[in-house]
Amino acid sequence: MIIKEFCAENTTRLNQLDDTIKRVELCDNLAVGGTTPSYGVIKEAARYLHEKSIALATMIRPRGGNFVYNDSELRIMEDDILRAVELESDSLVLGLLTEDNLIDQDAIEQLLPATQGLPLVFHMAFDHIPLDQQTEAIDQLVDLGFTRILTHGSAQNNPITENITHLKDLVEYADGRIEIMIGGGVTAENYQDLIKQTGAQAAHGTKIMEKKKKMRT
């Protein structure tokens, strides 16, 4: 079964979700790629989505920009994780890199106790990892307990169709150990073809809702 995940900015458009959406990634500030939503937004989104049996993945990102975080920012992320867990998020979305654009294992391990075993998603920071290091990064994320990776297949803002070969390679390497979810240019019109071509298990985007489906109330 293909899992469709809608990327939401706060609670905007949640009342427009159609029956094909099984999961929502909740963010603020999509203009900078998404940051942590507020306490009140997470609380209301969790209430609404769980009534509809839709899973909630909460973004944990203290700011826009790169994915290298200092000690102060890690403390902010830790507190945000605790609040997101308290508010019954179903998974947490985060991405932490070193200055060399490799997985920041030390920083992630620092945050793990706060996650309290909640499923973890590594967001598109993954695409900034050098291509020849991405298979090793998959192994690291599996070992750290991550359950999902969101990837465009490239750090460039190019059509996702140009990244099919690399995305397929990532899916094959992951071999079911971790879910590979494709995003960045994925729409209601193209997600099925992209899933078929890449073998990915899930598709993510802001334009992934079916336009002619009966809307939820």
Q: On the CB side of 209, how many CA atoms lie within 13 Å of its CA?
A: 19
Listed by start position, the domains of the chain span: 3-205
* Res. 206: pLDDT tops 60: yes
- pLDDT tens readout for residues 89-145: 999 999 999 999 999 999 999 999 999 999 999 999 999 999 999 999 999 999 999
For residues 93 and 98, what is the distance between their CA atoms, to the nearest angstrom?
A: 18
For residues 126 and 52, what is the distance between their CA atoms, to the nearest angstrom?
A: 30
For residues 12 and 14, what is the distance between their CA atoms, to the nearest angstrom?
A: 6
Beta strands 179-183 and 91-94 are: unpaired
8 A C-beta contact, residue 169 and residue 191: no
Residues 6+ apart with CB under 8 A from 25: 5, 6, 7, 8, 34, 57, 58, 59, 93, 121, 204
For residues 83 and 66, what is the distance between their CA atoms, to the nearest angstrom?
A: 23
pLDDT for res 213: 46
For residue 68, count other CB atoms closer than 10 A to its CB: 15
Nearest to 170, CA basis, from 184, 152, 158, 188:
152
Per-residue confidence band for 212, with pLDDT thresholds at 50, 70 and 90:
low
pLDDT for res 210: 81
Instruction: Measure CA of the first residue to CA of the last residue in the chain; give whole Å.
Output: 25
DSSP, res 29: -
CATH 3.30.470.20 fits 3-205, yes or no: no
- pLDDT tens readout for residues 70-83: 999 999 999 999 99
DSSP, res 100: T
Query: Torsions phi, psi of 150, nearest 5?
Result: -100, 125
Q: What mean pLDDT is predicted for residues 162-168?
A: 98
* Res. 32: pLDDT tops 60: yes
